[in-house]
């Protein structure tokens, strides 16, 4: 991590150096994850892009290298919907420590029918939450080997209005794609907050931070061909929306700050400055429903049961 003084104003365009650090970004080949990886690569760190599609990861790495000369970026095949593959994915990192992981990868479905992972979990809940839950357990030895590692969980503003149904986490009784997506991101955010609580209880040097990107639209995102191409028409039609929301490059700013800023602390929530929807990253109060420790504990226990992963003691 950078030793830059926390008294200096944070500048999203001039991130502190992080030479020698190693970061993993899940879903780093597209969307917000791509821009998190690009921004972190500009600090001199080694950045691993976790992606289930090697071809897309290669394209993303080429784009990052074009934007960041000398970028130290590599790909790791990672499929969060396949829990049995996670151990091999972590081994393929071939590093002695990990300074931060950004839990960014996610699936968002717009229409029925309900789909499941190979493990029999609802696809969005299984990938977005359970996959990252299990991955954390696999990564903990590498994170604990770093001096002061960070686990950064990318939530969603869509989760603010949702509440978990602890009796139907898999949306078997009532499946509505947008709601199921919001609840899967809410589960991730509960996990990020509860994880830090448990890390503190065992005196771990690892911290867990939760972030969200606000409103992030493709049409307001700068082009990174062929990863993302924004047409002139899309840019012009989206101009009015820029008063309230932003592009995915800006949606990445809270995650980059959570990784790099020494002033950030575990258990915090970071999001965009303006109404939580756009602007530079700021610390914001943890949402009221995320402070419900009884819900967090029940979700944690259910996640252990569903994944077969024991994160009960959080080794650290």
Catalytic residues: 181
CB 175, CB 109: distance < 8 Å: no
- CB-neighbour burial class of residue 132 (10 A; exposed 0-12, middle 13-18, buried 19+): buried
CB 228, CB 292: distance < 8 Å: no
3-state secondary structure labels for all residues of 9-69:
CCCCCCCCCCCCCEEEEECCCCHHHHHHHHHHHCCCCEEEEEECCHHHHHHHHHHHHHHCC
CB 57, CB 29: distance < 8 Å: yes
Vertex 283, ends 281 and 284: CA angle to 5°? 115
Q: How far apart are the C-alpha atoms of 215 and 33, rounded to whole Å?
A: 15
């Amino acid at each position: 991590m950078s030793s830059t003084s926390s008294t200096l104003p944070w500048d999203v365009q001039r991130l502190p150096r992080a030479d020698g650090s190693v970061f993993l970004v899940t879903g780093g080949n597209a969307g917000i994850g791509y821009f998190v990886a690009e921004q972190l690569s500009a600090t001199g760190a080694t950045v691993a892009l976790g992606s289930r599609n090697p071809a897309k990861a290669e394209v993303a790495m080429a784009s990052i290298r074009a934007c960041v000369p000398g970028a130290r970026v590599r790909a790791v095949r990672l499929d969060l919907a396949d829990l049995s593959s996670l151990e091999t994915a972590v081994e393929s990192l071939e590093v002695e420590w990990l300074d931060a992981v950004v839990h960014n990868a996610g699936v968002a479905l717009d229409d029925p029918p309900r789909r499941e992972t190979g493990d029999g979990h609802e696809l969005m809940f299984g990938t977005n939450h359970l996959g990252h839950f299990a991955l954390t357990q696999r990564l903990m030895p590498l994170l604990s080997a770093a001096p002061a590692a960070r686990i950064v969980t990318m939530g969603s503003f869509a989760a603010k209005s949702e509440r978990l149904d602890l009796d139907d986490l898999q949306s078997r009784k009532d499946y509505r794609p947008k709601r199921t997506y919001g609840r899967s991101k809410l589960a991730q955010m509960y996990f990020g907050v509860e994880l830090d609580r448990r890390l503190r209880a065992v005196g771990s040097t690892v911290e867990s931070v939760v972030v969200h990107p606000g409103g992030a639209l493709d049409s307001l995102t700068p082009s990174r061909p062929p990863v993302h191409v924004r047409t002139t028409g899309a840019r012009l039609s989206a101009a009015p929306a820029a008063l309230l929301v932003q592009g995915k490059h800006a949606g990445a700013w809270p995650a980059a700050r959570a990784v790099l800023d020494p002033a950030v602390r575990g258990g915090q929530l970071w999001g965009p400055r303006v109404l939580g929807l756009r602007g530079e990253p700021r610390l914001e109060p943890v949402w009221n429903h995320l402070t419900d420790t009884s819900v967090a504990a029940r979700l944690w226990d259910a996640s252990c049961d569903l994944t077969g992963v024991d994160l009960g003691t959080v080794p650290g």
